Amino acid sequence: MDIPGPINPPARLLMGPGPINVDPRVLRAMAAQLVGQYDPYMTATMNETAALYREVFATANAHTLIVDATARGAIEAAFVSLLEPGDRVVVPNFGRFGHLLVEIAQRCGAEVHAIDLEWGTVATYEQIADEMARVQPKMLASVHGDTSTTIAQPFDGLRELCDRYGSLLYADVTASLGGNVVDTDAWGIDVATAGLQKCLGGPPGSAPATFSERAVAAIDARRPDLIRSNYFDMAMIFDYWSDRRLNHHTEATTMLFGARECARVILEEGLTNCQGRHLLNGRAMLAGIEGLGLIPFGDIEHKMANVVGVHIPDGVDGDAVRETLLHDFGVEIGTAFGPLAGRIWRIGTMGYNARQDAVLITLAALEIVLRRHGARVLTGGGVDAAYEVYATA
C-alpha cells in the first residue's frame, strides 16, 4: 500500500451543533507527554479535574469524574449501572437525543414511558407530573438541551416530583454544560453527564459526569449483582477515582489533560461570564438570522443559548448551501435529523467559537451563499443586526 501523508486537515470554522473548533489552550494541554497511571502527577491531575468539574457542574458531589468515552458512553454508563430489567423510566422525548435516552434505557431492560412531543417544543410541568403520577418510575431522565431541535427543557419542579415518587433525576447536559445555566445541586439532579465537544471547547472522547449520594447509593446497592458491563460499571469507576485507585482501566491520559484544561479555562473566565458569552453570541446569531429575513425554528422562549435552528427558505437546496459554505468559505453549519431533515439548518455559537468574529463571518458568508443560490435575503441585514446586539450588550 502507499503510505498516506501526515494528518493535515483543512482549515474549517465549525459553526454547527458540535463538534466545534477546539480551544488552542486545550490542544496544547493534550500535546503534553504521558506519565504513568499511578504517578503522583497523574493522581493529582485526576483530583484536580474532579474538583474543577464540581465547579462547572455547580455541585458538591464527591463522585464527580471523567468517563473515558464519548458523551453517549457516559449516558450508557449511568443507565447500565442504575437500571435493572423491569425498572420504570419516564423520558420527555422532544428530539433526537430524547430518542437516544429511550433506546439506551430499553437496552438495559427498563420499561420506558416516553412523553412524545412535537420537535421544537418542550414538555410542560403538568405533562411530566401526570406521567410521573401514572408510572411512579425509578428514574426521570431528560435531555437538558437537545441540539437536534435547539430547545432546552426546563427542570423547574422536577426534583419535587422525583421526591414524591422516590425517583432519581438524570440530565443529559452534553450540549448545554458551560454555555447554559446548569445548576446540578440547586435543581436536585442525581446524575448529569456531558461531553467536551460543545460549550466546553474540547474534542469528543471524554465525558464529565457527576453523581449524587442518592445515585451512588443506588449503584452500590447493585454491587452484589452483576452490572452488565465491565467497562461502564460505575461502581468500579468510582473505586478507580477514589483515594484507593483500584485498577479498572488505563486512564485516557491525553483526554484527561484536555478535559482538565477545558474546565480550567472556563473557570478562569468565570462560569457566569462563560455562560454570558454564549448567551450574547447566541443572541447575536439569532438577530442576524432574523436580520437576513430567515425564520428561526422552534419555541424561541426555550431556545438554547448556543445553537439556533433556521428554516431553509423555500426553493433553496439546503445541502447545496452547506456545501458551498464549506467549499468556498470553510464554514460548516449543521444539517438536521429525523422529521427536521431537509427542513432546517442548525447553527452553533459554542465553546471557542462563541465569539463575535465567528458570528459575523458566518452571517456574512451565509448571506453571500444564499444570494448565489437564488434566495432573497436582506443585504447586510444579518451582520448589521448582529452588530446591534453587540453594541447594546
Q: What is the CATH number of the domain that holds 163?
A: 3.40.640.10
Average pLDDT over residues 129-145: 98
Residue 233 lies in a domain: yes
pLDDT interval class at 45 (50, 70, 90) = very high
Domain boundary among 269, 300, 322: 269
Collapsed DSSP state (helix, strand, coil) of residue 305: coil
Residue 10 lies in a domain: no
Asked if residue 128 and residue 116 are part of one domain, the reply reads: yes
Q: Do residues 175 and 306 touch, judged by C-beta distance below 8 A? A: yes
Write out pLDDT tens, residues 323-359. 999 999 999 999 998 999 999 999 999 999 999 999 9
User: What string of H, E and C letters represents the secondary structure of 282-320?
Assistant: HHHHHHHHHHCCCCECCCHHHECCCEEEEECCCCCCHHH
Asked if residue 186 and residue 112 are part of one domain, the reply reads: yes
Q: Give the residue numbers spanning the domain of 211.
A: 24-269
What number of CA atoms fall less than 13 Å from residue 320's CA on the CB side? 11
Asked if residue 41 and residue 169 are part of one domain, the reply reads: yes
Residue 6 lies in a domain: no
Asked if residue 296 and residue 180 are part of one domain, the reply reads: no
Element (H, E) at 241: helix 234-241
289 closest CA partner among 233, 241, 235, 347: 347
Write out pLDDT tens, residues 59-97. 999 999 999 999 999 999 999 999 999 999 999 999 999
Asked if residue 123 and residue 53 are part of one domain, the reply reads: yes
Asked if residue 98 and residue 46 are part of one domain, the reply reads: yes
Asked if residue 115 and residue 125 are part of one domain, the reply reads: yes
Residue 7 lies in a domain: no
Domain boundary among 224, 245, 269: 269
Q: Do residues 307 and 152 touch, judged by C-beta distance below 8 A? A: no
- Peptide bond preceding 296 in cis form (omega within 30 of 0): no
pLDDT interval class at 225 (50, 70, 90) = confident
Asked if residue 129 and residue 37 are part of one domain, the reply reads: yes
Total domains in the chain come to 2
Mean per-residue pLDDT over the chain, rounded: 97
| The C-alpha cell that represents 156 in the structure block | 423547574
- Peptide bond preceding 19 in cis form (omega within 30 of 0): yes
pLDDT of 370 higher than 90: yes
Residue 165 lies in a domain: yes
* pLDDT at residue 223 in the model: 79
How many whole angstroms separate alpha carbon 128 and alpha carbon 123?
7
Q: What is the CATH number of the domain that holds 318?
A: 3.90.1150.10
